[in-house]
Amino acid sequence: MHYLPTRIIFGENAVRRGYVYLNQLGKKALLVTGKNSARQSGAWDDVLSVLNGLKIESVLFDEVRENPVLKIVMAGVEVFTQNRCDFLIGIGGGSPIDAAKAIALTAANGLTQDRIYDTSALKKTFPLVAIPTTSGTGTEATQYSVLTDSATLKKAGFGHDLAFPVLALVDPKYTLSLSEKVTLHTGIDALSHLLEGIYSNKRTPLIFPFIFQGIRLIIKNLPSALENPSDLAARTALSQASLYGGITIAHTSTTLQHSIGYPLTSVYGVPHGLANGIVMRQIMELYYPAVKAELDELFSFLQMSRSDFYSWLDSFQMHMETKLTPDFIEAKIPEVLASRNMANNPITASDQDIRDLYHSL
């Protein structure tokens, strides 16, 4: 089954080109952003200029930080409700956009913080416009929101059709201001989504063109963007690949590769994409026997071998800075096993697989 209710405008001046659709969403918008990225990327100026032209009022909520926590969602809900906003515009990386999805749903359904993950309570939402400034999560085209409970340090996502943005305005120029680290980590996150589209039990042939093309774009353009951050063609390719990754996981969901990385982020502060990168080779080795035909076809398409791919990955020198403690590993195995995307693995991953993988880092 294929479903993607988000209208996507990709490329130069995407925000300006979105004005007709923005005009249909209401008269007052909550702008959900992080600390600097909306302004630094230039997206902020473009959004305000279009909103001014349309006489749409806006209220700023710029409290979202990396790996958004539940209480920030509730703070956003309060600002949205008190100001009687009609819709939301999430500007930034995955963190502000995911927070905006949760704010929209929580506000529309009158939920309390302890019910944010209760997808059975979701009956309606407010329209959300997503304007990505990173090229990694693809959240502008997914129904997922990934949040962290700061009380338990548990990072987990939820998915619901109502969480799809109504409009995604993707202008790759906003990613020109990304640091080298964020460029790398987000590029690897997108690669992870695309690979997980192959691994997932929900994989579907209609998505494979996005997966294969997206991976090819990343293999070629991630090194170029790292070498020359102002290479707009490479940035454009990475934004496109990120979007392809979002379209992929919207249909296939993620797998162990994502769930095993979440505790590295919530406990050790490893950036999301880096957490995926650190385990990417081990996961591919673990899954290879189950998806041999698909991976062989991919590497034939890429005209590289699996070992060439590992060398490409090694060139980025992604690793854990700290050794994981046995206590951490034992405490997190049940959490990983219980995560909702474990059902999508092409093989049943055992607690010993997860233990071995964590010990190998």
- CB 315, min distance to ligand NAP, A: 21
Specify whether the CB–CB gap between 126 and 102 falls below 8 A. Answer: no
- CB 199, min distance to Fe ion, A: 14
Question: Which residue's CB atom is positioned nearest to Fe ion?
Answer: 189
Using CB under 6 A as the binding rule, whether residue 95 contacts ligand NAP is answered as yes
Number of residues that bind ligand NAP (CB under 6 A): 31
CB closer to ligand NAP out of 203 and 272: 272
Q: ∠175-107-20 over CA atoms, to 5°?
A: 50
Residue 316 structure tokens: 């980025």
- CB 39, min distance to ligand NAP, A: 8
Partner touching 146 among Fe ion, ligand NAP, none, CB below 5 to 8 Å by kind = ligand NAP
CB closer to Fe ion out of 76 and 93: 93
Rounded distance, CA 187 to CA 178, Å?
11
Using CB under 5 A as the binding rule, whether residue 189 contacts Fe ion is answered as yes
Rounded to the nearest 10 degrees, how much is the dihedral formed by the CA atoms of 126, 131, 136, 138?
40
Nearest in space to 340 (alpha carbons), one of 50, 144, 84, 184: 144
Chosen residue from 40, 58, 83, 113 binding ligand NAP by CB under 6 A:
40
Q: If DSSP codes are grouped into helix, strand and coil, which group holds residue 10?
A: strand
- CB 130, min distance to ligand NAP, A: 10
Using CB under 6 A as the binding rule, whether residue 186 contacts ligand NAP is answered as yes
- Cβ contacts of residue 81 below 8 Å, gap of 6+? 107
- Cβ contacts of residue 308 below 8 Å, gap of 6+? 299
Stretch that binds Fe ion, among 188-196, 222-230, 231-239, 336-344 (CB under 5 A): 188-196
Give, in order, the Cα–Cα distances in Å from 317 to each of 183, 278, 359.
Answer: 14, 9, 18
Using CB under 5 A as the binding rule, whether residue 140 contacts Fe ion is answered as no
Residues that bind ligand NAP in the complex, under the rule CB under 6 A:
34-37, 40-41, 66-67, 92-95, 98, 133-134, 136-137, 139, 142, 144-146, 174-175, 177-178, 182, 186, 189, 272-273
